[in-house]
């Protein structure tokens, strides 16, 4: 037990003086005490002195622990992996940790009492003001991403999370958490660029397939035009070409040309960029897809559509058409590879209170279990040199990112089932 510390000696001396003063005021009261009473009094004083010594030692230990915890808190605060700042209502920095100062590339003394906007890129300051305004209006934490000014005046991307609160004096203030997300932002931009490249590759591959579909759809009309032309020539040679024959041939040619022109329009609309959103039902999107497919499937594959939905969605139609083309193309390849007869593709459109669910299933034998979890990986294909390995990957990306929906698949009844779930919030 440490009995030699200065605070204790000072306290003991003060008690001693007070005791001597009391004794001087009432000397007779002390003189008349018996020996036993004096002994008891001395014992009580000794016990009290020991209690004071123990209390003093406990206070000393508590003070040491508090100092240790305070230093530990300061280390945790200053060495945290994110920056912390306390702001007043005007956006002035009242407190900050070392991490925040390091992010700004300056000394901590140069951060305190500075406006937080001093460290935000001027072009992005409105983002911070809007975030603060939302906290003032709704009284909740808010977050944003913007560019801040770091070491050597170089900007860096930061994620800010702001919370409202009060200090011990009940004065309103903001608590700001700053995270450097520059590396994450760079990676995100690279992924976005790679995704755009893959999307462009998939569109080129789809364009090749669609051009072959145009050629397929035009083959029969061109044959008909050739037959009409030959018929007119033979009649002319035989002297049997009259006005009636010319008018009849002209009407047939006109119908065929209109059909071919409509086919081109369907494909041209599909490839037109920046198509606006339109309110359209899933059945109408399916019908648009089947128009593009045209005669490529009906010769050897039956496509049955069962619609149980009436709710239209406000969507980019062509993006969904691209998804349906990819899935139907995969089904066609599976059916032809397995040489299934009769080959059937069934499309079922169902509706729940929150979603519209489109199921596309075939009877082509299903997806091999060994690859069922890999088929949506980029550049994974089962079509050899004929495939790009991007169709299903792009389809999943479109459904999840552009429609906030889900694309899943499984095997059932010797066939593959692809399920597209779209949220009715697009209504």
Least confident residue range of 63-72, 337-346, 405-414: 63-72
User: Is the separation of the CB atoms in 333 and 383 below 8 Å?
Assistant: yes
Q: Which long-range contacts (CB under 8 A, 24 or more apart) does 151-157 make?
A: 151/104, 151/105, 152/105, 153/105, 154/105, 155/121, 156/103, 156/180, 156/182, 157/181, 157/182, 157/184, 157/185
Question: Tell me: the pLDDT tens digits for 139-172?
Answer: 667 888 999 999 888 999 999 988 877 666 667 7
Highest mean pLDDT among 18-27, 29-38, 57-66, 378-387: 57-66
Q: Residue 385 — very low, low, confident or very high, per pLDDT cuts 50/70/90?
A: very low
**Check: CATH 3.30.380.10 for 83-180?**
no
Closest CA to 81 of 183, 147, 178: 178
Question: Tell me: the pLDDT tens digits for 204-230?
Answer: 666 666 666 666 567 667 777 888 888
pLDDT attached to residue 1: 40
Of residues 220 and 106, more confidence is placed in 106
Q: How far apart are CA 132 and CA 140, in angstroms?
A: 10
Residue 333 has pLDDT above 80, yes or no: yes
- Identify the CATH class of 275-427: alpha beta
């Amino acid at each position: 037990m440490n009995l030699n510390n200065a605070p204790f000696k000072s306290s003991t001396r003060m008690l001693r003086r007070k005791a001597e003063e009391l004794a001087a005021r009432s000397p007779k009261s002390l003189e008349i005490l018996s020996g036993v009473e004096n002994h008891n009094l001395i014992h009580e004083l000794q016990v009290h002195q020991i209690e004071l010594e123990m209390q003093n030692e406990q206070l000393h230990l508590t003070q040491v622990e508090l100092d240790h915890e305070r230093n530990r808190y300061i280390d945790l605060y200053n060495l945290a992996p994110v920056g912390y700042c306390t702001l007043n209502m005007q956006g002035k920095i009242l407190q900050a940790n070392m991490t925040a100062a390091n992010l700004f590339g300056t000394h901590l003394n140069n951060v305190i009492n500075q406006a937080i906007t001093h460290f935000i890129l001027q072009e992005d300051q409105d983002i911070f003001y809007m975030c603060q305004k939302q906290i003032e209006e709704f009284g909740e934490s808010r977050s944003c991403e913007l560019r801040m000014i770091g070491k050597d005046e170089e900007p860096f991307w930061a994620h800010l999370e702001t919370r409202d609160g009060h200090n011990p004096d009940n004065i309103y203030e903001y608590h700001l958490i700053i995270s450097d997300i520059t590396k994450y932002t760079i990676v995100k931009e690279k992924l976005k660029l790679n995704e755009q490249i893959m999307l462009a590759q998939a569109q080129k591959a789809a364009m090749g397939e669609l051009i072959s579909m145009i050629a397929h759809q035009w083959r029969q009309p061109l044959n008909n035009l050739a037959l009409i032309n030959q018929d007119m020539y033979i009649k002319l040679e035989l002297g049997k070409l009259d006005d009636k024959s010319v008018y009849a041939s002209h009407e047939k040619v006109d119908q065929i040309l209109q059909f071919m022109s409509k086919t081109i329009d369907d494909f041209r609309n599909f490839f037109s960029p920046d198509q606006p959103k339109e309110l359209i039902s899933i059945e109408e999107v399916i019908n648009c897809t089947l128009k593009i497919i045209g005669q490529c499937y009906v010769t050897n594959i039956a496509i049955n559509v069962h619609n149980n939905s009436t709710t239209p969605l406000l969507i980019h139609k062509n993006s969904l058409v691209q998804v349906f083309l990819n899935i139907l193309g995969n089904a066609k390849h599976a059916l032809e590879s397995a040489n299934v007869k009769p080959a059937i593709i069934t499309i079922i459109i169902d509706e729940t209170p929150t979603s519209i669910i489109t199921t596309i299933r075939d009877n082509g034998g299903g997806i091999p279990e060994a690859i069922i979890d890999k088929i949506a990986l980029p550049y994974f294909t089962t079509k050899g040199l004929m495939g790009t390995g991007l169709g299903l990957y792009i389809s999943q990306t479109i459904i999840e990112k552009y429609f906030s929906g889900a694309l899943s698949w499984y095997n059932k009844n010797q066939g593959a089932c692809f399920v597209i779930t779209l949220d009715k919030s697009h209504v």
